[in-house]
Amino acid sequence: MFDRTFLTQAFGVIFVGLGLAARLGMWKKWYWGSRGAVYGYLPMGLVFLLFAFDSQAAARLGSLHVAYQALMVLLGLCALWWTFRPPAFVKPAWVRWVEAYPQNLYDAMAKAVKQGEAWEAHMTSPESLDAWVKSLRPKNRKKAGG
């Protein structure tokens, strides 16, 4: 039989790790496929970790265990909020750069990514992203006018 505590801790570490990697810009592939879900990974990972130690916390905290459980609930709500309506401070800088473009240019970027264009290297600075966006404009004009 497997150890549920270890499994819960593993999920917590994985979710926290993925959330931090996305937030720090070390993992970008998630963006165009599932843009919002990754923001909630960090608080959800913390919920898993706190839950893994819930019985120990109950034994040590006594009546303060309610606060521990309240923290888990708040982190769970935070995970839902950050997943479905992420505030700007949760988003990595490069995501804010991408989302600052007008919808037509954003759509051009999404289309280029779906067509297999390499895009991650353009997310190193606003200038690099802007150069990539400018390179997409002529392609879109030719197709629209041609």
pLDDT at 67: 96
Q: Counting Cβ atoms within 10 Å, is residue 5 exposed (0-12), middle (13-18) or buried (19+)?
A: middle
Token digits for 88? 């700007």
pLDDT at 44: 97
Backbone phi and psi for residue 33, each to the nearest 5 degrees, phi listed first: -95, -40
Segment 21-50, tens digit of pLDDT: 988 888 888 888 776 789 999 999 999 999
Nearest to 132 by CA among 107, 99, 109: 109
pLDDT-based confidence at residue 145 (cuts at 50, 70, 90)? very low
Token digits for 129? 């992203």
Segment 54-112, tens digit of pLDDT: 999 999 999 999 999 999 999 999 999 999 999 999 999 999 999 999 999 999 998 99
pLDDT-based confidence at residue 144 (cuts at 50, 70, 90)? very low
Residue scoring higher pLDDT (139 or 138): 138
pLDDT-based confidence at residue 12 (cuts at 50, 70, 90)? very high
Contact 92, 118 (CB under 8 A): no
pLDDT at 138: 60
pLDDT at 89: 92
Nearest-Å Rg of the Cα atoms of the chain is 20
Alpha carbons 32 and 18: distance in angstroms, whole number: 16
Residue 53 has pLDDT above 50, yes or no: yes
The neighbour count for residue 43, using CB atoms within 10 Å, is 22
